Each structure stands twice: as C-alpha cells, then as structure tokens.
Structure 1
Amino acid sequence: MLTARSVPAPDRTVALVGLMGAGKSAIGRRLAHRLGLPFIDADIEIEKAADCSIEEFFDRYGEAQFRAGERRVIQRLLDGPAIVLATGGGAFMDPQTRMVMRERAITIWLRAELPVLIERVGRRTNRPLLKQDNPEAVLQRLMSIRYPIYAEADITVDSRDSPADRTTDEVIDALAAFLHTNTPAGAAS
C-alpha cells in the first residue's frame, strides 16, 4: 500500500487555483518535483504568448482580453501531457476555463486567510489588480467574490503562514486521498 507521501504522479494535470499570494507557484514547484511532473506557471506562459508582461497586457488591452488569452493558454496546456499548473488568481473564475479545468485536471484550491495574503503580496509590486486601490480592501473583495467559486475545486488545502514544504506535504496527502477515492482501483479497495 502506498503512503500518502509517496503518491504516484496522476495521469492528468494537477492545477492549483487561489488568490494571488496563496502560494500557487511556490507550492506548485515543490509539488511538481515530488510528483516527478513538469511545473508550468500559466502567467509565464501567457507572457510568452503575448510577448509582454501581464501588467503591460492589462494596461494595453484590459482584463477581459487578458482573460480570453489566459483561457486559450490554459486550454492548450491542458491538451498536453500531465503537469503541475499554477494558474492566475482569476483563471478559475472564468466559467469556460473552470469547465475545462474540471474536465481535464485535478483542481486544488490553496485557501489562505487575509493576513497571510497581505503579507505575501506585499513582497511584489507587479500585481495589476492591487494597483487600483488599497490592497487589503481589494483582496477582501476578491475573497468574497472568488472563494465560493474556488470552493468548487476538487481539493481544498489551507495555505498558512508556515513553511512551503509543510503545505506541500498537506497537498500531497490530500491528493493521495483524492486519488484513492476517485480512481477505479482506489474505489474498489
């Protein structure tokens, strides 16, 4: 019998969703390493496809065009082999993107409380949605809008103010339990 910490790589993409600052990239890199899968950050792939930064894209074309491009990039990534995918904070909010992710990936919501998010997003200055207003007020508003949708993810893991390796262990444990319950071999045992 496999232990939760030795979960084999799933046969489909593991997509991390959550607000900016939840740890999707930091946890995603560690998770990919532990699962033996490639790690891809959707935001970096979007920047490559657009040949500009996300901040520049927002400034030039607005959020609606950004979300359309994000949808195309995520669809392309999900059409490929299994990876660990860190998505942007708004990706799972798009109904079409969410539907494709739910069909082709195992979705994991990294849920974080407001104080953790405030501390983490304060480390970077390239967050377009936080340049418009008070970052704490923006995050609070986004939490009230997005958390009910993020809750539709297959798995929820709390991203606390603790070492990323500890959160990665919790993600591995939750993923192992999910795979055990949702695969024919696991369901039969």
Structure 2
Amino acid sequence: MDRKPRDVGSVPRRIWLVGLSGAGKSTVGPLLARRLGYRFIDLDGQIEELAGETISHVFRTGGEAEFRRLEARAAARVAEVTDIVVATGGGWMARRDIDRTSGGRVRVWLRVRPETAIHRLSRDRAQDRAPPRPLLAGPRPEAALSALLAARETAYAEAELTLETDGLEPEQLVEVALRGLRKLTEKEWKNRP
C-alpha cells in the first residue's frame, strides 16, 4: 500500500482522534488513514496486544487501574510513529499522568452528544461490530456517558481541532476532518518565524 498522502494537501503526520465512546474514532480513523495513505492504529487493539487478552478481561481481572497502565504503555509505544491516525480510548485525553501533547501529534476531538453515542454503540453491539464498553455496563449507559462527558469535556477541549459528528456520515466526517487538518497546517506555517 502506498503510504504517501494522495491529493489531500498538507496535513499533520500524527493524528490522534479523541472523544467519547461512540464518537466514531474507530470508524472514521481507518477511512481517514486510507485517504491519507497513513497507517491506522486503534489504541485498544494495542492494549489487547500488550495484555494478551480483551479489554473486558483486563477490566475484570485488573480493573481500570490495570487498563490505564496498559493504555499509557500502548500510547508510548506509538507516540513517535509518523504517518498515522490513532483512535484513542474515551478516557485517554483526560489523563493527567501522561504527556498527551508530545510527539508533534494533532489531537482531533470527535464531539458527539451522549444520546447519539449510545445509539451508535447499541447499533454496533447489535451487529457484533463493537466490544462491550466496561465503563458503560450499568443499567443507565446514557447517564454514565453524560457523566463521563462532563468529567472529560475540559480535557477534550484542549484538542487542536474539534469536529461535530452528529448528523454526519463517516465519509462526510473524513472530508470535514481533512479541511480542518489542512487549515491547522496552513496556520502553523503562517505563524512560524
């Protein structure tokens, strides 16, 4: 596969997608990576590779603390890789114990309303396209997701680019992302001494 960007203009070489579960990171990420000729990396997949087990199993046996430890290792493992689009876990951006800005990465917040995220997650679960989300396993997942958004929103807002995902199909979101990423790159070049 050709890893050189194809007719997309100048964009950052390390793109990290952040946001709630159900925002579309794992759906949009591969499409964006393909469009750019970049590699797609799902941080949850990296965690499962390090653990040798599923995310659900990590939560059952080691709890959230073990998951977060593995998440930090997985993020460090891919931090310096270039020409990548990374889908992070929903809580990655809210972590204060890791450096979320190193490596010249551009963080893109895929902003979604909790009710939209729950609808997407429920649809994906019904179609066996998504694993269970341990932090949303209770009887009121929308309330849990709303609480997670309230706790993480300030951290998500630190992203260099925010994209509203409600009402957009994945392919449309890729186009919006490319426009936003190009503008970021243009702004960076204009602001250099």
Using the size of structure 2 for normalisation, the TM-score is 0.87
Q: What corresponds to 1:173 in structure 2?
A: 179
1:102 maps to which residue? 101
* 1:187 maps onto 2:185 in alignment: no
Give the equivalent residue in structure 2 for 1:34: 35
Task: Tell me the distance in 2 between the aligned counterparts of 1:54 and 1:164.
Answer: 25
Distance 1:61 1:130, change over 3 A: same
Write the distance in 2 (CA, Å) between the matches of 1:175 and 1:32: 13
1:1-189 alignment to 2 at 5 Å?
A: 6-11=8-13, 13-97=14-98, 99=99, 101-104=100-103, 105-123=105-123, 124=125, 126-183=132-189, 186-187=190-191
Q: Deviations over 1:65-123 (max 9, x none)?
A: 110110111011012233100000011111133x2x31221100000012211211113
* TM superposition outliers: structure 1 runs of 4+ over 3 Å: none
Measured in 1, the distance between the counterparts of 2:117 and 2:31 equals 19
Q: Which has the higher mean CA deviation after the structures are superposed, 74-83 or 147-156?
A: 74-83
Using the alignment, how far apart are the partners of 2:139 and 2:101 within structure 1? Answer: 32
Number of aligned positions between the proteins: 180
- Asked if 2 retains the 8 angstrom alpha-carbon contact of 1:18 and 1:109, the reply is yes
**Cα distance in structure 2, aligned partners of 1:37 and 1:126:** 28
SS of residue matched to 2:12: coil
Contact 1:18 1:110 in 2 (8 A): yes
SS in 2 for 1:22: coil
Write the distance in 1 (CA, Å) between the matches of 2:157 and 2:9. Answer: 23
Question: Where does structure 1 lack aligned partners over 5 or more consecutive residues?
Answer: none
* Counterpart secondary structure, 2:27: helix
CA contact (8 A) 1:9 1:36 kept: no
Gaps of 5+ in 2: 1-6, 126-130
Letter of the structure 2 residue corresponding to residue 23 of structure 1: G
Alpha-carbon RMSD across the aligned residues, in angstroms, is 1.7
Q: SS state of the match for residue 6, structure 1?
A: coil
Report the Cα offset of residue 6 of structure 1.
2.1
1:15-47 per-residue CA deviation (whole Å, 9 max, x = no partner) reads 000000000011111110111100010001110
Q: Is the 8 A contact 1:160 1:167 kept in 2?
A: no
2:3 matched residue in structure 1: none
Contact 1:16/1:24 (<8 A) preserved: yes
Question: In the alignment, is the contact (CA less than 8 A) between 1:8 and 1:35 conserved in 2?
Answer: no
Percent sequence identity over aligned pairs: 35
In 1, the alpha carbon distance for the partners of 2:136 and 2:169 equals 25
